[in-house]
Structure 1
């Protein structure tokens, strides 16, 4: 882990607090062994995107940002050395995302795009036009393994304005709860999974409540953004000694996973500490 941190300190010298990626930076080498994995949560000016990499070279992208953040995502993927993506998982979809999906499928030779059943049915014409790729349809309860030890479980799927595809992502023995739906839906989902240990939660502040945090008791929480409404939530997280990372404030972060543990590297924050 220390080797990675030193490399980042030297290589990201020009990174700034915005979501943009400077031209001077050429590559971020995570130096993953065959038994290591990484999950990177990109800080984009609009929309979301998460990249999962395994030591065997498998690359999984969750969402693609929007048309306004396409160049940012492209540059981040280049920095992380991604030339091909094995699977694209879409948690939500609208027309600001459509062009990015087509671009990603084409430029990164993606053989499979995953969509929730409702999302697929409501946008079937779009998916039918993706002639060069296969569409996998997930419904609540679907489980699928990508790479040797990266698995997905769908705990909820919807295609309404406030709700989307909610997932449990298992990386080796680590569990990541990936929430995209409203706080009301998320609270109901948590009741069914709270008995299993969860290392990390990725969510929008609108998807979490204090009660949800108390039930799950995660080690790490990654939030897309901060808001006035999330003040009480953040206070509770700190009281419980949960590590909190807000992408809109701290920038892109990478979590590096071993068999049973993980360590988080806030890319921008680590740089600032070196100045």
Structure 2
């Protein structure tokens, strides 16, 4: 009888250990699954937040890879004549719209460089041939003096979004040129440091606002890339280093930023 009781105690102890091991194994699996889900949620939230920031921070006029030598428009690029559609009121009276151009039949080459003078310092941009409608619009606005003495009204400093946004003469983030046009050069677009891209308020609502990427940023390929900063990136990083006026990751630059002029050549 005593031996039987001892065996029973051993059996109960063995089963107890087995249950503990099973629980530990189940906990490990559960924790791994939560880690994957949480990781997925974090990525999804980051993408959503990036999109929301761009729709607001880079959201342009209604509210944010160089092309190959192939002559065929790349996916995401505007094909045929550039169409500039009336949209809202222009922040500059009597501005009009850019002359229509057909990227496939240009008689006069579009500009290849732009110089943005910011707080008196030049920032040179190599313009992207994969965004001819945007380059044409930029040249039109620059020639009209649309950008002269305007403010760069928004700065973001988060780990995933590092941009300075300019191009709104009203300084509110809602001003535009009174016209809009389709996205282009967005297929597979990425936004590393030095990228210059159009802000928008949704698909195909490009106008005058653009953003300068001073640090690698994670954004969906929804924003027309039209240039790369070749000199003067330090001008933007210096502005970013000072931070925002509200101390948060999204706000107006604490140091007022003036876009003195934009010229193209």
**Higher RCO (CA 8 Å, separation ≥ 6 residues):** 2
TM-score range, shorter chain: under 0.3
The alignment's TM-score, normalised by the length of structure 2, stands at: 0.23
Structure 1 or 2: larger strand share? 1
The alignment's TM-score, normalised by the length of structure 1, stands at: 0.22
